[in-house]
Amino acid sequence: MAQIRYSRWDGTQRLDDLDADELLSAMSDDLLAGADLRSALRRLFQRGAHPPQGQRLQGLQDLIRRLQRQRQQRLDRYDLGSALADIEKKLDEIIQKERAGIPERLPEGAERDRRIESLDRLPPDAAGRIKGLQAHPFADPEAERLFQELLRSLQEQMLQPFLKGMKQGLEGLTPQDLARTREMLRDLNRMLRQRMDGEEPDFDAFKQKWGQHFPGAESLDDVLEQIARQSARMQSLMESMSPGQRAQLEEMMRSLFMQDERLEAELRQLAMNLGALLPMDELSRRWDFRGEENVTLKEAMGLMEELSEMERLERQLRQAQAPGDLQHIDPKQVERLLGEEAARDLQQLRDLARKLEEAGYLERQGDRLTLTARAIRKIGETALREVFAHLQRDRFGRHALDRRGAGGDRTDDSKPYEFGDPFLLDLEETVMRAVERGGPRLPVRLEPGDFQVFRTEASTRAATVVMLDMSRSMLNSGCFLPAKKVALALSALIRAQFPRDRLHVVGFSLYAREFKFEELPGLAWSEWSIGTNMHHGLEVARQILGRDRGANKQILMVTDGEPTAHMEDGEAQFSYPPTRRTLQETLKEVQRCTREGIIINTFMLDESRMLAAFVEQMARINRGRAFFVTPERLGEFVLVDYVRGKRVRSSR
């Protein structure tokens, strides 16, 4: 038998969000177990919801696990020590270029020798080389340009907490910018000293002069918070390095401003003031990087910021105790760190209580939310349905029985007549028992023990739609003729054996429509046979079954390919390979069928991985069955499955 490879739900398909009924149902167990509404809501948005069918509601715990995975991926990927190696490599290139340029630009003599000797005296460590090259008179203009660019880049990383609002980038960090930064640091240090002395600093004047460097800051505390977070990145970077690497980086940073000692002094003073006013040790932490991918110092600082944001977001998610607490979490930050899907999941959680209120299941009494009478009735109905669902699943029982009872459709098997059985006499077996008892003589005399009656099986009434794929691939591969025969055979079976059932046929390709059985023999290729619009086919089938009052509704879909078209504003949208939008809209229609109690059984005439993966997703949502069959055996599978579905239980 052919093997099928199925893939798991990959999270890219989007179905309808859970509605209020499903949310209330997800809380029912907690509420019935005695939990108060606040606790039930808290558990719901912490754990999410897992409905039997449809889209799962991701909870806060799911978002936290995503954060942890993202964080670990970065730690396993990058080598933090390579940031220093990158700087050393750039310094080597600068020195080599300068060494090669000296003979080209200077004649032989004392000056050339002094410049070469200046390079020879450079120490091997990066900090010493930076300090030495700042005093070195460059002969090669390109080497000097590269060194100044590297110097500005490193200075930018050191001054990043104070350059956030600057419009100019790396190339624009001029001596004038450094001078203004020094002046800003002096004003900031003056305010911090005033605060430590118990005075009230003039923040408005500071904001008017330097506010562009601290966007969004409305108070001195906001400025301190921004600076502290940015400064903590460098502290975290150093703590995440080995002791030797940390010492090199610290020495290198001290050498960056040797030409501006006043700026360096203001930076040291600011670090002391921040340490006195803020818990800097709590804002930074050590990260255990184990990867091999190289990073620059700028990229390493960006990693520190990203990891810090992840840690802060995780702390917010863990501290959330009620849906209202989620309003303080920035959805843009969630999207930036975890992607659009996580941001949508957060929005669903934020809307959770609102949905229940709008549906009339919750009402506000002051600051409290309480269950309404309607919600209590709904919970009771849900519990009742679950009880009956278990009864229905268990009616086969767990014990084998030799006796069978009456009722329903006749089988080909017979049994001795018992009082109360329908008198469906098996005449041949009855006479044979009498002959065996009395011998071959005439007349044959019957006694009560001779009577044999046919056994019966209980059956259900069903409404069925056969969905036939009429796409061009079905026609070209020879699959459509067997599919038509199956529809005709089912029609004959139902008319003969299950006259109370209803059977409908829907053909679908670019569009879908219902066909009368009289049309089946003449069905052929049409101008809209391109595409496989399962979305429209399922929608038409659902509407047909919605008009039927039968207790059991099902769709039997026969197809040889994944959906390649869907409906938008009444028009079919075709694309091959299928777009994500087509898959989403088709799965949404599967969910609608599921909500209306319609079972979808799919018969696949092709074992492609894409079709198998999509049908697996349908089966997870709908709990229907999926079969892979050859066109030659399609009729056997469909007819046997339909008859088995009709026979609910064998009589005793």
pLDDT digits (tens, 9 = 90+) for 569-582: 889 999 988 999 99
Sign of torsion, CA 74 76 77 82?
A: positive
502-511 pLDDT tens trace:
888 898 989 9
pLDDT at 594 over 90: yes
| Mean residue pLDDT across the chain | 76
% of the chain beyond a pLDDT of 70:
74
CB atoms within 10 A of CB 104: 8
First to last CA, the chain: 35
pLDDT-derived band at 536, boundaries 50, 70, 90: very high
β-bridge mates for residue 465, sequence order: 504, 555
Q: What pLDDT was estimated at residue 485? A: 63
221-280 pLDDT tens trace:
888 877 777 777 777 777 787 787 777 777 777 776 656 677 777 777 877 877 777 776
In whole angstroms, what separates CA 22 from the centre of its chain? Answer: 19
The mean-pLDDT minimum among 249-258, 534-543, 582-591 falls in 249-258
Q: What pLDDT was estimated at residue 589? A: 94
Strand, coil or helix: 369:
strand
Q: What pLDDT was estimated at residue 1? A: 43
CB atoms within 10 A of CB 232: 23
Summarize the confidence of residues 492-519 as an average pLDDT. 77
d(CA 547, CA 589) in angstroms, rounded, equals 17
Q: What pLDDT was estimated at residue 396? A: 34
Nearest Cα neighbor of 152 from 136, 130, 167, 124 is 130
Token readout for 232 is: 């903590």
Q: What pLDDT was estimated at residue 406? A: 38
Distances (CA, A) of 524 to 472, 511, 563, 595: 10, 15, 20, 33
pLDDT-derived band at 568, boundaries 50, 70, 90: very high
Q: What pLDDT was estimated at residue 537? A: 94
105-121 pLDDT tens trace:
888 888 888 888 889 88
Class of domain 462-650 (CATH, top level): alpha beta
401-458 pLDDT tens trace:
333 333 455 566 777 877 666 677 888 888 888 888 888 888 888 888 888 887 765 5
d(CA 643, CA 632) in angstroms, rounded, equals 19
d(CA 453, CA 415) in angstroms, rounded, equals 6
d(CA 539, CA 85) in angstroms, rounded, equals 61
Nearest Cα neighbor of 361 from 336, 379, 382, 383 is 379
Summarize the confidence of residues 581-589 as an average pLDDT. 94
Strand, coil or helix: 290:
coil
Query: Phi and psi at residue 507, in whole multiples of 5°?
Result: -100, 145
132-173 pLDDT tens trace:
888 888 889 999 889 888 888 887 777 665 555 444 433 456
pTM: 0.47
pLDDT at 585 over 90: yes
pLDDT at 381 over 60: no
Q: What pLDDT was estimated at residue 593? A: 93
% of the chain beyond a pLDDT of 90:
8
pLDDT at 129 over 60: yes
9-21 pLDDT tens trace:
454 444 456 678 8
Summarize the confidence of residues 296-310 as an average pLDDT. 83
Sign of torsion, CA 132 135 140 141?
A: positive
If one compares 372 and 171, the residue with the highest pLDDT of the two is: 372
Domain residue extents for the chain: 1-80+298-394, 82-286, 409-459, 462-650
Nearest Cα neighbor of 451 from 416, 410, 411, 422 is 416
Q: Are strands 598-604 and 626-628 parallel, antiparallel or unpaired?
A: parallel
Kind plus residue range of the DSSP H or E element containing 224: helix 220-239
Token readout for 542 is: 């659902």
Q: What pLDDT was estimated at residue 230? A: 72
CB atoms within 10 A of CB 237: 23
Strands, sheet with 409-416, edge to edge from the N-terminal-most edge strand: 409-416, 452-459, 647-650
Q: What pLDDT was estimated at residue 609? A: 84
Non-local CB neighbours of 47 within 8 Å, separated by 6+ positions: 59, 61
CB atoms within 10 A of CB 181: 22
The mean-pLDDT minimum among 354-363, 513-522, 639-648 falls in 639-648
Distances (CA, A) of 25 to 38, 41, 52, 58, 468: 15, 12, 11, 16, 35
Q: What pLDDT was estimated at residue 111? A: 87
d(CA 552, CA 555) in angstroms, rounded, equals 10
Q: What pLDDT was estimated at residue 387? A: 37
